Structure 1
Amino acid sequence: MNLKDIAAIAGKPGLFKVLKPSRSGVIVESLEVKPKKAIVNASQRISILKEISMYVTGQAEESVALEEVFASVKEKHGLAQLDVDTKSEESLEDFIFSVLPNWDGDRIYTSDIKKLVTWYNKLVEFYPSALEDAKEEESTEEAAE
């Protein structure tokens, strides 16, 4: 998976592809039907998806990288839009339990699960190459040469 180019920005909805640095921050492009470029100042909180993890219980490490969670979602649901009722707490908990059985219910909130579903759907729709396995990416690059 290649989540190092995708970011969530505090106070802005959706996901953004990081294009390049600028003098005062970074230039990003929104992942939507009509992408818009913007400059995000260094003072704004930018979270790169590769650096995000989710809390789990019963392991030496208390968290699992978001990349691994997305891989589990992809394995169970493929590269298709997730059909999860984000208004139903029970539906969200059933979903997270199916892809991350040892999730920490005390530290993962309903809003976090909603973000997971929304982000996965955004990536599937606008940037599915970010969800490809590293092996798939390498074989694609070798075939192009």
Structure 2
Amino acid sequence: MEFKDIATVSGKPGLYKILKPSRSGVILESLDDKKGKMVVGAAQRVSLLSEISIYTLTEEGATSLKEVLIKIEKEFEGDTGLEGADKDEYQAFMKHILPEFDADRVYASDVKKLISWYHILRKECPEVLEEKPEGDEAKDDESEKDKS
């Protein structure tokens, strides 16, 4: 599984694996123990993890969610220590992981959601948190095209 195969649905907790498009929307399967399936219509906002980024104060203005999650995995290996944390602890955690993040636009609730997603990914599809050399991603893209 890759980041482009995982989505979040506005107003719904958790992460979802994209199964396939349907006439009325897209069919998703929850990335939890229940593995519940649902059809999400055009009225609901579905965001792919590969398209989500975090605001920064750099020239680019943002860093991809994938980069941040891989950095968290590399440094913490599953133990973030943020269960029951307060707003200041979430902000300090984010400052540690991504020193150039924009504290005015990235709220503690966003960091809490980021940590929640990290734990879901680590449990359900840890392979997406592995850092791949740049060349390997291009090879993966090529092998996907070959399968088509």
* TM-score, L = length of structure 2: 0.84
Cα deviation for residue 41 of structure 1 reads 0.8
Cα deviation for residue 116 of structure 1 reads 0.5
The alignment status of 1:51 with 2:51, answered yes or no, reads yes
Cα deviation for residue 87 of structure 1 reads 3.8
| Mean CA deviation greater in 40-49 or 82-91 | 82-91
Residues 108-127 of structure 1 mapped to structure 2, 5 A cutoff = 108-127=106-125
The alignment status of 1:12 with 2:12, answered yes or no, reads yes
Q: Unmatched 5+ residue regions in structure 2?
A: 141-148
Q: What is the Cα-based RMSD across aligned positions, in Å?
A: 2.1
| CA offsets 1:65-124 (integer angstroms, 9 cap, x no match) | 10111121112112x243213541121112111110111111101111011100001111
Letter in 1 for 2:81: D
Aligned to 1:143: none
Size of the aligned set, in residue pairs, is: 138
- Tell me, in whole angstroms, the C-alpha distance in 2 between the residues paired with 1:122 and 1:55: 22
Aligned to 1:60: 59
Cα deviation for residue 132 of structure 1 reads 2.4
- Matched residue SS, 2:100: coil
Aligned to 2:28: 28
Aligned to 1:100: 98
| CA offsets 1:18-54 (integer angstroms, 9 cap, x no match) | 1111111111000111210111112210011100000
| Mean CA deviation greater in 105-114 or 83-92 | 83-92
